[in-house]
Amino acid sequence: MAQTIKADICVIGAGSGGLSVAAGAAQMGARTVLIERGEMGGDCLNTGCVPSKALLAAAKHAYMMGEGEPFGIGKAKPKVDFEKVNAHVKGVIAAIAPNDSIARFEGLGVTVIKEHARFKDARTVVAGRKEIRARRFVVATGSHPAVPPIPGLDSVPFLTNETIFNNTTRPDHLIVIGGGPIGMELAQAHRRLGSKVTVIEAAKVLAKDDPELSAFVADRLIREGVDIREGAKVARVEGEAGRISVTVEEGGTTSTIEGTHLLVATGRKPTTDGLDLDKAGIETDAHGIKVDDRLRTRNKRVFAIGDAIGGLQFTHVANYHAGIVIRNALFRLPAKVDYGAIPWVTYTDPELAHVGITEAEARARHMKINVLRWHLAENDRAQAERETEGEIKLVTDMHSRILGCTIVGPHAGELILPWVLAKSQALKLSAMAGIVAPYPTLSEISKRAASSYYTPTLFSAKTRAIVRFLGLFG
């Protein structure tokens, strides 16, 4: 007979969002059950954010060995041991894994079940030989790589983000299908580690970002030797392990690219297979599980968060969702999601960070806007470190409130945070222009860009006249 477990909240999926809900609920005194059929930590820890950033860090060390001449340091050719690079990646995962482990969560009082979960009815979930009856359920099952219907793809070996970090042999020639953040990050990492790399993108690379600033990233990758094919359609794929042939159609012509490894990075799909959501009265569509602005499904006992609902598929969004669910499910507060100030970062070198709306979106929504910039070449710290390629671009309304901000350059992911605060709190540019920034830091570009809004008025003929007039009084 099945064992029945009664709980206040049952979380399905131990990725970032699910773990945040389970940890928060348990520490607040709720009887909490967490069900995970795969690895604790989900995609972010095991096959996404953590391993990709670890690989990028190794690649940057290799790249910088050949970039010292401007500083008077002789160029050196790195000796890349790809197996040890892989061990570094695995080591980083292992260092973080205890935070997401079964032991830690059981120590918090969470009942962890390592089984596949499925709904039996509107208020019951079955996991192995256990039935969980809970006041509230949270579906946090994440997403998985979307594999496009390319002729021949099903008959050749290919990599995705779920498998590429198990590769201990450096690809001689990595062909990447997809020029989004995952594709571009892994393309640059492998190029810097010594692989030949070709990126094939049907539209524009990094198409969701401001095209002016994403061009900085594309230009850098091209200069480093990555072959980027934009506006290219993959007609078919052929070959076998170690010998992959990709037929590409570009501008009316057809060509063939030969490589040793193929990476498919064409987006992600919500993971909802086998959950029997229909038995719980939960609706789905092409984007994932359908929820309202309180993250409730049609079955009001059940919430869904993170990649499982589509939309912005980022770890920090899943964690944000977790907070919304805690307030709704445990405290019965009508908390609602607001995506207006959600940032995202592509961790190439240079990094590309964004919050709010782009210039093009702003022009479509507002009659008049202001666009402000400050280039890294005008920043003393950037000059000292010879990292002068990049800029900050601000978009404001006519009342000097922030509509959006994009930064391209070193540490852009860190530099974007003040603008996330400004956007979320509807601050005016005067708030940033009035702060004192430490010198010399890259963060000065934010103050400089904000201050430039006031420059035309501050140094105008009217201001000079006022100063001369006041000077008459001693």
How far is residue 127's CA from residue 28's CA, in Å, rounded to a whole number?
24
- What is the structure's pLDDT at 24? 98
Domain annotation for the chain: domains and CATH numbers: 3-145+269-329 (3.50.50.60), 153-266 (3.50.50.60), 350-458 (3.30.390.30)
Q: How far is CA 349 from the centre of its chain?
A: 15
Q: What is the pLDDT of residues 21-57, one digit of tens each?
A: 999 999 999 999 999 999 999 999 999 999 999 999 9
Q: Is the pLDDT of residue 433 over 80?
A: yes
Which residues, in sequence order, are bridge partners of residue 233? 249
Q: Is the pLDDT of residue 1 over 80?
A: no
Query: Hey, is 41 helix, strand or coil?
Result: coil
pLDDT-derived band at 318, boundaries 50, 70, 90:
very high
DSSP string covering 262-315: EEE-S-EEE--TTS-GGGGT--EETTEE---TTSB-SSTTEEE-GGGG-SS--H
Query: Hey, is 423 helix, strand or coil?
Result: helix
Mean pLDDT, residues 366-375 taken together: 95
Mean pLDDT, residues 411-423 taken together: 98
For residue 465, what is the enclosing H or E element?
Answer: helix 461-471
pLDDT-derived band at 102, boundaries 50, 70, 90:
very high
Q: What is the pTM of this model?
A: 0.96
Among 216-220, 250-254, 461-465, the minimum mean pLDDT is found in 461-465
Q: What is the pLDDT of residues 103-161, one digit of tens each?
A: 999 999 999 999 999 999 999 999 999 999 999 999 999 999 999 999 999 999 999 99
How far is residue 462's CA from residue 444's CA, in Å, rounded to a whole number?
28
- What is the structure's pLDDT at 140? 98
- What is the structure's pLDDT at 367? 86
Q: Is there a contact between 319 and 282 (Cβ–Cβ < 8 Å)? A: no
Q: What is the pLDDT of residues 282-298, one digit of tens each?
A: 999 989 999 999 999 99
Rounded mean pLDDT of the chain? 97
Report the interhelical angle of 16-27 vs 315-329 (nearest 10°). Answer: 30
Nearest Cα neighbor of 169 from 188, 193, 187 is 193
- What is the structure's pLDDT at 457? 84
User: Any idea what DSSP says for residue 339?
Assistant: -
Query: Which residues 6+ apart lie within 8 Å of 381 measured at CB?
Result: 440, 441, 442, 444
How far is residue 141's CA from residue 350's CA, in Å, rounded to a whole number?
32
Q: What is the pLDDT of residues 328-351, one digit of tens each?
A: 999 999 999 999 999 999 999 999
